[in-house]
Amino acid sequence: MQNHPVHSQTEGQEAADAEELAIVDRIRSGDSRAWSELIVRYQDRLYAVCLRMVRDRELATDLTQDAFVKVIQGLHSYDGRAKLSTWMIRVTMNVCLSRLRSEKLRRHASLEAMAERPRGGSEEGSGGLTAADQFSQIREQSQDESVEFHEDRERVLRALSTLDPDQRAVLILCDCRGLPYEQIAEVLGVAVGTVKSRLFRARAALRDAVEAMGTRGDEEDDQ
Amino acid sequence: MTKARDNNPEPDPGLLSEEQILDWIDGRVSPQDASRLAAMSGRAGLEQRVAQMRANKRALVALGNVSAPRDVHDRVLAALEREALVREGESDAIPISTVVFDDEPRQRSWLHSAGAPLALAAGLLLLVSGGVYWMATVNKRPVPGPGPIAAKTDQGAPVIEASEPVADAPTMTAMAADATPVHVPDAGVPGIVEDQPAMMLAAHSVPIDDTRALELARQGRLVMRVVATNTKALVSLERDVSRPQSGREWKLDSKVSATLAQAVTPKNVPFGLGSRDEFAYASADAMSMLGPKAAFTWPLTAMTDRASRVKGTYLADVPARESTLRAVKALLADKLDAKIVFEELSEAVKLPQRLDADSALWWTRPTAKWTQRVSIPVVVEQR
């Protein structure tokens, strides 16, 4: 009797996997109605990954869109070795990481340009906000939670957005998506040992970043 | 869920591995074990730090699911339609049944044009010439050489991070350094070898620079070979480097596990020989050890037995910085009158972690001061 729920859960999972593979086959054979089914199934999951990575709803929507286009374009190369969900999250994470890396490069270049520019010569100044700047401006809607918990959560989210994208990715996959190490390794294309090592560094870095924010907040309060 | 752990409390304060702390954060260690681990850490504040990391994890888990905006679905569909239309005709374009491709006229015109037979003939010619080329080159593939150290650069090889759990093989003191040094007349000036001589390597011909060396060290696939003239200086060097007062950032440890020592000991192959035939008879062709040829083979093999020339196997614990790596090489070259080369292992070896509080608790320092460390097996051979 006790095994029954487990058994039915496995069966349910298998049925869902088979259904997903059927959708993949239909897309491959040119049935564009199947796109819609795939999008409905995965839009929340992929959007959640994007939102946690960039902390900007509009940008997250754009990235989700890009990820879906890449997924459907690349379905012919999906060989079924990994689960479809793992593969799709991998594509999505790559889209996010590429975006964040290019943003970082652009921000670095613009900082260098500002440093070279003579003082007082800048009129555009704060005009071109980068996505990274926008991340910190946009806050997620609060739910029915205590103020303290909400503040903690906000601080952790802000600290998360200051981490290196690779560290951010591993934390999001592990804590927000609840993926096991093996699946994270598949998504990120690294060994399980590397996942553990990266996760540990990410946790330590996040702790430092949260603490630094708390200290900075206290100093601001004192002033 | 509680994970079974070694119940014998270790006196060494730095035995907390990253994996143990991760388990602790994830709640996979019982509260009793957690206090024991905290006590073992020998650092105040460790428990608090872990508690903070757990709180952060809880905050991230509690974020829960988010729903995509309502327009995501339509936006994606529109983007897909656009993409399908823009990339119409490209090989990797999205297959779309609702978009009608009007390819027929184009196909018809190509089939009826005068160029079709010519194109077919050209294609046939290409196929035939390709086939001839393939037949001519297929028999010229090089035969892989012998030796445990391969020049394999396959990135897909299994990789074990230097920071991964400790190999628990029994430790072994390095081989004694009491051998009488053999003075080679043309030993040359001691220094760091940039171009590796053939005698140093079993099958590696590409020099490994410091950047690559560090990358391999992180993967547990690097060996530092020290071919020394003055191996008598090994004892004093070991003492000097291991002294805490030396102020050096790196350490040389003679306690190397038997498994590791075996994995990095050079195979008994002759070196200093030029051609592949000569190279092979000592290691691969057993028959050449018998008969008239043996008169030449046996003494030569004994003379060139690399394994018997090994005077010590050590483990260098070094900050993962090129400057420190250069300093290590320079000191070894100077003290031992040695030539030093790096070798790439075909597979990663399990390297033990440093077992002191400083190295185990690197993460308790500010992020800006984090320095990754690597362990590099160092094999000292008599020249």
Q: Which two tokens stand for residue B215?
A: 């990358």
Considering only residues B370 and B353, tell me which one the structure prediction assigns the higher pLDDT: B370
Q: Which residues of chain A have pLDDT under 70?
A: 1-10, 105-146, 215-223
* Span B277-286, average pLDDT: 40
Q: Torsion over CA of B311, B317, B320 and B326, rounded to 10 degrees?
A: -40
User: Which class for B163: exposed (0-12), middle (13-18), buried (19 or more C-beta within 10 A)?
Assistant: buried
* Span B64-77, average pLDDT: 88
Rounded Cα distance, A136 and A129, in Å? 11
pLDDT score of A97? 94
Q: Which amino acid is at B182?
A: V
Rounded Cα distance, A161 and A171, in Å? 11
Q: Is A211 at the interface with chain B, CB within 8 A?
A: yes
Q: Do A61 and B71 touch (CB under 8 A)?
A: yes
Q: Do A40 and B79 touch (CB under 8 A)?
A: no
Contact of B42 with B13, CB cutoff 8 Å: yes
pLDDT digits (tens, 9 = 90+) for B17-40: 778 788 888 888 777 777 777 666
Q: What proportion of chain A, given as a percentage, has pLDDT over 70?
A: 72
* Nearest to B235, CA basis, from B174, B154, B317, B155: B174
Q: Which of B21, B76, B95 sits opposite A39 (nearest CB)?
A: B76
Q: Torsion over CA of A14, A19, A20 and A24, rounded to 10 degrees?
A: 140
Count of all residues that appear for chain A in the document: 223
The answer on pLDDT for B312 being more than 70 is yes
Nearest CA in chain A to B366: A208
Rounded Cα distance, B220 and A85, in Å? 32
Residue B381, beta-bridge partner list: B227, B310
Nearest CA in chain A to B100: A30
Rounded Cα distance, A87 and A76, in Å? 13
- For chains A and B, count residue pairs whose Cβ atoms are closer than 8 Å: 139
Q: Is A203 at the interface with chain B, CB within 8 A?
A: yes
B235 Cβ contact partners less than 8 Å away, ≥ 6 residues apart: B177
Rounded Cα distance, A178 and A201, in Å? 18
Q: Which of B57, B62, B68 sits opposite A43 (nearest CB)?
A: B68
Q: Between residues 80 and 99 of chain A, which touch chain B (CB distance below 8 Å)?
A: none
Contact of B210 with B327, CB cutoff 8 Å: no
* Nearest to B145, CA basis, from B213, B223, B208, B201: B201
- Chain B positions touching A92 (Cβ under 8 A) are none
pLDDT score of A173? 95
Q: Do A35 and B18 touch (CB under 8 A)?
A: no
This prediction has a pTM of 0.53
